[in-house]
Amino acid sequence: MDLRPERLHEAIRRVGGVRSDGERFNIARQKCAEDILNETESYCVMVLGIQMDVTAYEKDGEQFIRTRPNKNQVDSLLSLDPC
């Protein structure tokens, strides 16, 4: 896998957090991407007090997730602690 800085988000394997009902989750990246693409769930991250939506895309038959880059072109998922 090519891990140049603009593709580091492709190394994400799992995501976790707390759902709006308080339930904790830890799911595979592919499940998160599938939920977003199928519009069955939405996900967001809070970085420095700013909420950012997680988006999903497909590349070469594989599903990935990322946040929309900020003005510094940084994927906010990469600034979070590993789960």
Query: For residue range 4-61, what is the model confidence (pLDDT) as tens digits?
Result: 545 665 678 888 988 889 999 999 999 999 999 999 999 988 877 878 889 998 888 8
Residue pair 23/31 in contact by the 8 Å Cβ criterion: no
The one-character DSSP state at 74 is -
Task: Output Rg (C-alpha) for the chain, integer angstroms.
Answer: 12
Over range 55-82, report the average pLDDT: 73
Domain extents in the chain: 5-71
Who wins on pLDDT, 67 or 3? 67
